[in-house]
Structure 1
Amino acid sequence: MSFKSSIATIGGKSSYWFLHNVLKGGTSFPGKFAMKIDPQVLNSLSKGYETIIVTGTNGKTMTTALIVEALKKKYGDILTNPSGSNMQQGIVTAFLAHKNKKAKKKIAVLEVDEANVKMVTKLLHPKYFVLTNIFRDQMDRYGEIYTTYEKIINGIKLAPDATIIANGDASIFSSVDLPNKKIFYGFNLSNDKAKNDFKAPVNTDGVLCPKCDHILHYHERIYANLGDFFCTNCGYHRPHLDYTVNKIIEQTPNSLKFQMGNKEYSIGIGGTYNIYNALAAYTVARELGLSEDEVAQSFEKNKRIFGRQELINYSGKEIDLILVKNPVGLDEVLHMLNTEKDSYSLVTLLNANHADGIDTSWIWDADYEGLNKAKIQKILVGGQRWHDMGFRLEVAGFNPAMMTTVTDNESLLDEISKLPTKKVYILSTYTAMLALRKTMAEKKIIKAGM
Structure 2
Amino acid sequence: MSFKANVAKVAGKSSYWFLHNVLKGGTSFPGKFAMKIDPNVLSTLAKGYETIIVTGTNGKTMTTALIVEALKKKYGDILTNPSGSNMQQGIVTAFLAHKNKKVKRKIAVLEVDEANVKMVTELLHPSVFVLTNIFRDQMDRYGEIYTTYDKIVSGIKLAPNATIIANGDASIFSSVELPNNKVFYGFKLADDKEDVDLKAPVNTDGVLCPKCDHILHFHERIYANLGDFFCPNCGYHRPELKYQVNRIIDQTPNSLAFQMGQKDYSINIGGTYNIYNALAAYSVAREFGLSEDEVAQSFAENKRIFGRQEIIKYKGKEIDLILVKNPVGLDEVLHMLNTEKDNYSLVTLLNANHADGIDTSWIWDADYEGLDKSKIKKVIVGGHRWHDMGFRLEVSGFDPGLMTTVTNDNELIDELDKLPTKKVYILSTYTAMLALRKSMAEHKIIKAGM
TM-score tier after normalising by the smaller chain length: over 0.9
Structure 2 equivalent of residue 67 of structure 1:
67
TM-score after normalising by structure 2: 1.00
Structure 2 equivalent of residue 187 of structure 1:
187
State how 1:25-424 maps to structure 2 within 5 Å: 25-424=25-424
Match of 2:194, SS? Answer: helix
Report the Cα offset of residue 231 of structure 1.
Answer: 0.4
Match of 1:195, SS? Answer: coil
Separation (CA, whole Å) in 2 of partners of 1:282 and 1:189: 17
Separation (CA, whole Å) in 1 of partners of 2:23 and 2:302: 29
Structure 2 equivalent of residue 449 of structure 1:
449
Separation (CA, whole Å) in 1 of partners of 2:199 and 2:419: 42
Separation (CA, whole Å) in 1 of partners of 2:65 and 2:168: 21
Separation (CA, whole Å) in 2 of partners of 1:141 and 1:81: 22
Report the Cα offset of residue 195 of structure 1.
Answer: 1.3
Match of 1:92, SS? Answer: helix
Separation (CA, whole Å) in 2 of partners of 1:399 and 1:444: 33
CA deviation vs aligned residue, 1:249-303 (integer Å, no higher than 9, x gap): 0000000000000000000000000000000000000000000000000000101
Structure 1 counterpart of 2:284, which letter?
Answer: V
TM-score after normalising by structure 1: 1.00
Separation (CA, whole Å) in 1 of partners of 2:400 and 2:279: 41
Counting aligned pairs with the same residue, the percent is: 85
Report the Cα offset of residue 218 of structure 1.
Answer: 0.4
Separation (CA, whole Å) in 2 of partners of 1:109 and 1:76: 13
Unaligned runs of at least 5 residues, structure 1 = none
Report the Cα offset of residue 192 of structure 1.
Answer: 2.2
CA deviation vs aligned residue, 1:71-130 (integer Å, no higher than 9, x gap): 000000000000000000000000000001221110000000000000000000000000
Separation (CA, whole Å) in 2 of partners of 1:51 and 1:105: 11
Match of 2:136, SS? Answer: coil
Match of 2:245, SS? Answer: strand
Structure 1 equivalent of residue 427 of structure 2:
427
**Number of residue pairs matched?**
450
CA deviation vs aligned residue, 1:172-209 (integer Å, no higher than 9, x gap): 00000000000000000001211101211111110000
Report the Cα offset of residue 24 of structure 1.
Answer: 1.3
CA deviation vs aligned residue, 1:375-417 (integer Å, no higher than 9, x gap): 0000000000000000000000011000000011111011010
Match of 1:426, SS? Answer: strand
Q: Which runs of 4+ in 1 moved over 3 A?
A: none
Report the Cα offset of residue 421 of structure 1.
Answer: 0.2
Separation (CA, whole Å) in 1 of partners of 2:288 and 2:429: 35
Match of 1:220, SS? Answer: strand
Match of 2:92, SS? Answer: helix
Report the Cα offset of residue 307 of structure 1.
Answer: 0.3
Structure 2 equivalent of residue 18 of structure 1:
18
Structure 2 counterpart of 1:245, which letter?
Answer: V
Unaligned runs of at least 5 residues, structure 2 = none
Separation (CA, whole Å) in 2 of partners of 1:126 and 1:9: 21
Separation (CA, whole Å) in 1 of partners of 2:244 and 2:376: 35
Separation (CA, whole Å) in 2 of partners of 1:55 and 1:37: 27
